[in-house]
């Protein structure tokens, strides 16, 4: 066989390998093919091609494996069991490996790690973090991006994996990545910082200690929506853990500029901004007051009006947190027309968890003083809360939150026109709070007493069957003591029959 013929054989072999690996990569891009490929034993056929002398074959083999592993955890597990990860990690750490192959190798690690903590741990156990750190120090931004993405997928599962990422020295490199000019790299690095910070105060503090807040704060008005999503997510995952880190986020001078993003065209940007504001306001009255002072409450109320569904949830909770802290902050929510907007949310939303959050927010607003309770009452919220509590279709959490909110507001409410309908509709455990409020107000208000009689309220109270000596009986006695005895008797059940008997027994002179 001539030299030329031998070369032709090698060329044909290379062409066949190239065609095979490219075809598999194309087939792996379509989910309907993955099971057939796995059954055909494609994993074991691709593994040796990771060591191929031709770089494009190496790279395409890695790409095919990544696409398969990305599809489901069974295929990802097959990659682990096929002993493929160590080879990928070795190639990542090699200085001479082509950047395209490094990107494909990092993609495989990410695709395996994303499915479960166990698979992410398998990636860590094969030494991937050290190799990914080396990739973060590469000159090529695409390699850095691929490495940061893999790190993000490892860190997001739990605190243990996140700590392993931190221990590998990743965080300072990610902070350098968010300062790079490439938008795609900034996005992924911010996402990774968010995934690290979310698990515990200690991990969040590690991110803070590298100076991440200042660099994230500089990007809040970046025109790229996907970057803003990740920036606000990272800031909220940092701020949620403690007063100290929340104060550091606020001190980065992100307000009032952040409020502009509550009107961003991208709903995920808007939601993440509302989440950030919620995480700041929940901590202390002082932090809530800062948000109020920059117009945050009014901005969030406008945001609720422009949103629907789960996007509303962080805004609803933010108003509840602000109102929780003090009478003045709750009044700030009321003055900004927060109650009427929450009433609209309660009416429009279908999901029980959103209704439950809204009911909770009402409870926080109305529980302070009679004035606060009246603001909730005049929005006709009581019947809605009562219906949610009594509705057997409501979730347990919704029933519990509606009941608690109703009780806490009723205990402060002295606005009788809103209380009276509850005399006819409320069950005994709610009714006692309603009767209690009437027993407090009627002794001091003659107009209310007259109206209570003419509207049928006094008659309804006489019809309530209460245990002698019970709290509700005491309240009824206090109400009855506000009226002449003959009036009380007149509206008592059976009195008309008593009168008729007297007529029957009366003998005219």
Residue 167: phi and psi, rounded to 5, are -65, -25
- Residue 285: pLDDT above 90? yes
CA distances from 59 to 54, 80, 97, 226 (A): 9, 18, 10, 28
Q: Which long-range contacts (CB under 8 A, 24 or more apart) does 188-192 make?
A: 188/145, 188/148, 188/149, 188/152, 188/230, 189/148, 190/216, 190/219, 190/227, 190/230, 190/231, 190/233, 190/234, 191/148, 191/149, 191/152, 191/230, 191/233, 191/234, 192/148, 192/149, 192/151, 192/152, 192/155
Question: 208-267: per-residue pLDDT in tens?
Answer: 999 999 999 999 989 999 999 999 999 999 999 999 999 999 999 998 889 999 999 999
What stretches of 294-350 show up as alpha helix (H) in DSSP?
Answer: 296-305, 313-325, 327-335, 338-348
pLDDT at 500: 53
* 395-405 pLDDT tens trace: 999 999 999 99
Q: Convert the pLDDT of each residue in 52-64 to its tens digit.
A: 777 787 778 778 7
Mean pLDDT of 41-61: 76
Q: How far apart are CA 344 and CA 316, in angstroms?
A: 11
From CA 341, how far away is CA 361, in angstroms rounded?
12
Q: CB–CB of 101/58 below 8 Å?
A: yes
Region 468-485: what's the mean pLDDT?
A: 83
**CA 462: distance to chain centroid?**
48
User: How far apart are alpha carbons 150 and 112 in whole angstroms?
Assistant: 9
Look at residue 502 and tell me whether its pLDDT is greater than 60: no
Residue bearing the bigger pLDDT, 374 or 62: 374
* pLDDT of 354: 94
Residue scoring higher pLDDT (21 or 388): 388
pLDDT above 70: percentage of residues in the chain:
94
Distance CA 404, CA 413 (A): 14
pLDDT range class, residue 341, cuts 50, 70, 90: very high
Residue 304: what pLDDT?
93
Q: What is the mean pLDDT of the chain?
A: 87
HSE of 450 in the Cβ direction (CA atoms, 13 Å)?
3
Higher confidence at residue 212 or residue 87? Answer: 212
- How many residues are given for the chain? 509
User: pLDDT digit string (tens) for 411-445?
Assistant: 898 888 888 888 888 888 888 888 888 888 888 88
Which carries the bigger pLDDT value, residue 490 or residue 299?
A: 299
């Amino acid at each position: 066989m001539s030299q030329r013929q031998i070369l032709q054989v090698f060329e044909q072999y290379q062409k066949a390998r190239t065609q095979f690996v490219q075809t598999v990569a194309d087939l792996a891009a379509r989910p309907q093919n993955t099971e057939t490929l796995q059954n055909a034993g494609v994993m074991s056929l691709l593994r040796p091609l990771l060591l191929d002398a031709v770089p494009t074959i190496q790279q395409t083999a890695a790409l095919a494996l990544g696409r398969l592993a990305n599809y489901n955890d069974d295929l990802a597990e097959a990659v682990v069991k096929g002993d493929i990860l160590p080879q990928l990690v070795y190639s990542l750490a090699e200085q001479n490996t082509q950047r395209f192959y490094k990107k494909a190798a990092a993609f495989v690690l990410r695709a395996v790690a994303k499915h479960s903590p166990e698979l992410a741990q398998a990636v860590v156990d094969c030494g991937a973090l050290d190799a990914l750190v080396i990739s973060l120090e590469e000159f090529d931004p695409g390699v850095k991006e691929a490495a940061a993405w893999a790190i993000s997928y490892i860190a997001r599962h739990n605190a243990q994996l996140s700590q392993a990422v931190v221990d590998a020295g990743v965080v300072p490199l990610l902070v350098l990545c968010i300062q790079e000019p490439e938008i795609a790299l900034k996005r992924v690095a911010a996402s990774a910082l968010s995934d690290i910070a979310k698990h515990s105060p200690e991990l969040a503090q590690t991110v803070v200690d590298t100076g991440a807040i200042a660099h994230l704060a500089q990007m809040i008005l970046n025109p790229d929506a996907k970057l803003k999503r990740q920036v606000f997510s990272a800031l909220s995952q940092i701020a949620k853990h403690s007063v100290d880190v929340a104060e550091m986020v606020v001190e980065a001078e992100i307000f009032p500029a952040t409020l502009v993003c509550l009107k961003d065209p991208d709903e995920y940007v808007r939601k993440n901004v509302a989440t950030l504001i919620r995480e700041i306001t929940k901590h202390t009255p002082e932090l809530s007051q800062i948000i109020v002072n920059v117009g945050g409450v009014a901005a969030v109320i406008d945001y609720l009006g422009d949103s629907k569904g789960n996007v509303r949830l962080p805004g609803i909770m933010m108003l509840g947190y602000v109102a929780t802290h003090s009478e003045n902050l709750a009044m700030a929510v009321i003055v900004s027309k927060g109650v009427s907007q929450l009433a609209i949310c309660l009416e429009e939303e279908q999901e029980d968890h959103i209704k439950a959050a809204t009911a909770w927010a009402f409870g926080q607003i109305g529980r302070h003083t009679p004035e606060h309770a009246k603001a909730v009452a005049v929005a006709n919220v009581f019947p809605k809360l009562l219906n949610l509590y009594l509705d057997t279709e409501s979730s347990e959490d919704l029933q519990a939150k509606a009941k608690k909110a109703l009780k806490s507001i009723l205990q402060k409410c002295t606005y009788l026109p809103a209380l009276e309908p509850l005399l006819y509709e409320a069950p005994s455990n709610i009714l006692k709070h309603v009767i209690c409020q009437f027993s407090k107000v009627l002794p001091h208000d003659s107009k209310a007493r007259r109206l209570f009689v003419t509207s049928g309220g006094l008659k309804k109270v006489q019809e309530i069957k209460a245990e002698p000596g019970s709290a509700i009986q005491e309240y009824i006695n206090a109400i009855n003591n506000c009226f002449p005895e003959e009036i009380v008797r007149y509206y008592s059940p059976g009195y008309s029959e008593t009168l008729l008997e007297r007529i029957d027994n009366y003998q005219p002179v």
